A and B are shown apart, each in its own frame.
Chain A
Amino acid sequence: DIVMTQTPLSSPVALGQPASISCRSSQSLVHSDGNTYLSWLQQRPGQPPRLLIYKTSKRFSGVPDRFSGSGAGTDFTLKISRVEAEDVGVYYCMQATRRFTFGGGTKVEI
């Protein structure tokens, strides 16, 4: 199975400041079809997960442009350019190249 490792576990950040979360996979996430199926999910307190980024860097419908994803192969990053109060929650990376596995989560708090 592909293991997903996220850092940091927790990210205190001031409102209006940037935040960055890293995700590393134990194997390359490049699929045989050429796509890299790495996505980022946001889970606000008491809510189900919500898709933010798919295929490494594509923003899902309705996601603010302050969220961006980057990376390739085994190393990926989610960046929030200016954190807002509604961004508080836990962020998960997830791979769908070979079945599905999730990172352990990163808690973003103000």
Chain B
Amino acid sequence: QLQLQESGPGLVKPSETLSLTCTVSGGSISNSGHYWGWIRQPPGKGLEWIANIYYSGNTYYNPSLKSRVTISVDTSKNQFSLRLSSVTAADTAVYYCARSSADVGTMDVWGQGTTVTVSS
């Protein structure tokens, strides 16, 4: 059974860079037909898509965050990662990684999420 697990610092200082990794287990990140991505949820609020990546390296970004976001994939480790630069308190959120499948056309497997707080 495919599982996704987010990891990374729970606390980041303002103006610094947030870095998270999602480890995929129970399946290969290199399978065709699957995209891998990040979504976030500020406390008590709704969901916001951040970015997606294909194992080949093709990337897709939310235009509102694109200038600060980098998504990358490491097929040798079956992982993909997120970097968000110049963070502020508004970037405090639960960050989820998720798989998108071409056959269902949406995000069908989600990680448990990791809480990131931006504070000095």
Contacts and interface: CB of A to CB of B under 8 A. Distances in A.
A and B from one complex: yes
Interface of A: 1, 35, 37, 39, 41, 48-51, 54-55, 58, 60, 92, 94, 96, 99-105
Given A49-B96, A100-B49, A102-B47, A54 B62 contact: no
Contacts of A48: 96, 110-113
B110 A96 contact: no
Contact of A99 (B47, B49, B107, B108): B49
16 contacts: A37-B105, A39-B104, A48-B113, A49-B96, A49-B107, A51-B107, A51-B108, A54-B108, A94-B106, A99-B60, A100-B37, A100-B62, A101-B49, A102-B46, A102-B49, A103-B46
A103 to B, nearest CB: 7
A51 B96 CA distance: 14
Interface residues of B, number: 21
A105 B46 contact: yes
A37 B106 CA distance: 7
A49 B113 CA distance: 10
Contact of A50 (B49, B105, B110, B113): B110
B108 A60 contact: yes
Nearest to B60: A99
B16 interface: no
Contacts, number: 61
Contacts of A94: 47, 106-107
Contacts of A41: 47, 107
Nearest to A90: B46
B27 to A, nearest CB: 15
Contacts of B96: 48-49
Nearest to B49: A100
Nearest to A48: B110
Contact of B48 (A51, A58, A102): A102
Interface in B38-92: 39, 46-49, 52, 60, 62-63
Nearest to A94: B106
